[in-house]
Structure 1
Amino acid sequence: MPDWLDVVVRSLLFVVVLFFITKWLGKKQLSELSFFEYVTGITIGSIGAEVVMGLERNMFHGVIGIVIFAAMPFLAGLLSLKSKGVREFIEGKATVFIKDGKIMEDNLKKEKYTTDELLELLRKKDVFKVADVEFALLEPTGDLSVLLKKENQPLTAKDMNLTVAPIKEPQTVIMDGEILDEPLSTSGRNRGWLKTEMEKLGVTIENVFLGQVDSYGQLTIDLFDDKLKVPSPQEKPLVFATMKKCQADLELFALGTEAEEAKHMYSKNSKKLQEAIDKMTPILRG
């Protein structure tokens, strides 16, 4: 066969082989590489390139070599699951770079990192002051894990003793102007509800590039025409405004009546409603 056709056949074969090898090794081979996996990946690529262009070489010998090198990190991964010592030897251990707001200079030198490189890694984590950091670790994958001091961490609902409803995965119910019935059903809605919501927003389904329903049942959409502005969902603001109005009315009723029993009832329910509003505010105004 002509050389150019031989190269085409070899290329197609090795693309398929490398694809299945990578699928077999798993997603970790594509993201968090250990030193061993890094070396193996380079070698597999070199073997593939050499056999594809080296027409005098037997391409099936190259396939055997790739399979052997691919099997090595697979077996190493099995051993790592069974032995912590093997795992630390192959994948390495995390290195402390910052402790109690102080940089561990010896560890920086050990990992051959400069202060500028450390500061760059911190900036990627939106941290600009070393003193704000409680703990920082350089992971075996080269990522920096950062724990801020308690006073520098953002407030959460738990810190404020607030109970918030769990957030579920948003369901994509419209894509490229087409309704997706399965996600729509998963969200507990139907086409009739979707049509009503679209009418509220003043758009047609054909004009919608993407539509999603969140865990609160609100529909958000993105149109094909980026120049058109779609009004934001109003359900939660309307509920919040209605609750505030009811609470204010109860206070007025309590002030406007002379009957002590009615005054007490209005005041009591006004306080209860205000407590409910305080709890719901992060959800309704978030």
Structure 2
Amino acid sequence: MPGWVDVVLRSFLFIIVLFFLTKMLGKKQIAQLSFFEYVAGITIGTIAGEVVTGLESNILYGLIGVSIFAGVTVLTDILSLKNKRFREFIEGKSTIVIKDGKILEENLQKERYSVEELTSLLRQKNIFKTADVEFALLEPRGDISVFLKRESQPLTPKDVQLNMPNEKAPISVIMDGKILNDALNATGQTSKWLDMELDKLGVSIDNVYLAQIDSYGELTIDVYDDMLKVPSPQERPLLMAMLKKCQADLEVFALSTENQSAKNMYNKNADKMNDVIKKLSPYLTN
């Protein structure tokens, strides 16, 4: 058999073998690796490459080699799930590197991390002052977990007792100038409605790179022509403006009339309208 044919056959064989071995090892092998998984992955790839290109080697030996490393990796994962000490030995333990806003230099040096590397990890989490950090852990896989001090934590709607509506992920209804009919039907809208909305924006379907419908039923689009300014949806702001105008009109009517009964009626309805505005504000404010 010619050498190049042998290489082709071995290549296809090990592509299939490595694919199934990787599926067996699980997602961690292609996501965040422990030290052992990192070493095993490199070794398996090296053995496979040597067997594929080394025509003088025995292909069976290569299969045995990668199978052994894959089997040991699977066994290690199983033992790690069952035994905490073994897991800590193989994967390592989390290390406290910041406590009460103070960097623990000894722990940082023990993990062979410089202060520049620590600040770089913090910046990736949008944290630029170590003094804002209450507690920081360097995880076994190399990333960092941070708990900010109370006064440095971002304000949430819950903190101000504001009820916010639940939002779902937007659904893409146009991609690359083509309507996704199944996705459009899932939103409860029709192609006729979509054409009307695009007409309002002054955009043709052919010029739409991506169009999405959010949980409020509003259409947002991105067009091929980056110079074209596409207006944002105005239905919710306009509705909010109309409600505020109605509430203001009721207050004006109350001030304009001399009839006490009518004045009380207008003030009562103005208060009701104000309550409606407060309840709908989270939904109608962009």
Give the TM-score normalised by the residue count of structure 2: 0.93
Partner of 1:127: 127
Deviations 1:124-164 (A, max 9, x none): 22211111111111111100111211111111111111111
Quote how far apart the aligned CAs of 1:209 are.
1.4
* Farther off after superposition, 226-235 or 168-177: 226-235
How far, CA to CA, are the matches of 2:239 and 2:58 in structure 1?
A: 73
What is the deviation of 1:235? 1.3
- Any conservation in 2 of the 1:102–1:130 contact (CA below 8 Å)? yes
Task: Tell me by how many angstroms 1:212 deviates.
Answer: 0.7
Q: Which residue identity is paired with 1:122?
A: L
- For residue 139 of structure 2, what is the aligned residue in structure 1? 139
Alpha-carbon distance, 1:282 to partner: 4.0
* Residues 132 and 149 in structure 1, CA contact (< 8 A), matched pair in contact too: yes
Partner of 1:116, secondary structure, is helix
Give the conservation status (yes or no) of the 8 Å contact 1:162–1:279. no
Identity of paired residues, percent?
A: 60
Superposition pairs of residues 117-196 of structure 1, within 5 angstroms: 117-196=117-196
What amino acid does structure 2 have at the position aligned with 1:20?
A: F
Per the alignment, residue 51 of structure 2 pairs with 51
Following TM superposition, by how much is the alpha carbon of 1:274 offset from its aligned partner in structure 2, in angstroms?
2.3
Answer whether contact 2:165 2:282 (CA < 8 A) is retained.
no
Name the CA shift for 1:68/1:272 in 2 (closer, same or farther; >3 Å).
farther
| 1:41 counterpart letter in structure 2 | G
Question: Once the 2 structures are TM-superposed, how far is the Cα of residue 207 of structure 1 from its aligned partner?
Answer: 2.1
Q: Structure 2: give runs of 5+ residues left out of the alignment.
A: none
* Corresponding residue number in structure 2 for 1:87: 87
Give the total of aligned pairs.
286
CA distance in 2 between counterparts of 1:255 and 1:16 reads: 82
Equivalent position SS for 2:98: strand
Alignment of 1:31-46 (within 5 A): 31-46=31-46
Look up the match of 1:78. Answer: 78
Distance 1:85 1:268 in 2: 69
In the alignment, the residues of structure 1 paired with residue 51 and residue 257 of structure 2 have an alpha-carbon distance, to the nearest angstrom, of 94
Instruction: Give the Å deviation of 1:68.
Output: 2.4
Superposition pairs for residues 245-256 of structure 1, below 5 Å? Answer: 245-256=245-256
- Which letter does structure 1 place at the counterpart of 2:207? N
Unaligned runs of 5+ in 1: none
Separation in 2 of the partners of 1:262 and 1:76? Answer: 81
Aligned residue in 1 for 2:229: 229
On the 8 A contact 1:34/1:140 being kept in 2, the answer is yes
In 2, distance between residues paired with 1:261 and 1:87? 78
Distance, in Å, in 1 between the alignment partners of 2:195 and 2:24 is 45
Whether the 8 Å contact between 1:134 and 1:149 is mirrored in structure 2 is yes
1:263 & 1:83 partners in 2: Cα distance? 76
For 1:212, what is the secondary structure of its paired residue? strand
> What code does the residue aligned with 2:66 have?
I
Distance 1:60 1:266 in 2: 91
What is the CA-CA distance between 1:189 and the residue it aligns to?
1.9
Aligned residue for 1:222, secondary structure, equals: strand
Q: Deviations over 1:174-212 (max 9, x none)?
A: 112221122222222222222221221122222211111
Gap change, CA 1:270 and 1:53, over 3 Å in 2: same
CA gap of 1:53–1:263, structure 2 versus 1, over 3 A, is same
Cα RMSD between the aligned structures?
1.8
Equivalent in the alignment of 1:285: 285
Give the conservation status (yes or no) of the 8 Å contact 2:163–2:282. no
DSSP-derived class of the 1:164 partner: coil
CA–CA distance in 2 between the matches of 1:9 and 1:64? Answer: 18
Matching residue of 2:244: 244
For 2:274 and 2:71, locate their aligned partners in 1 and report how far apart those are by CA, in whole Å.
64
Structure 1's consecutive aligned runs of 4 or more residues displaced over 6 angstroms after TM superposition are: none
When residues 78 and 227 of structure 1 are mapped into structure 2, their CA distance, relative to the original with a 3 A threshold, is same
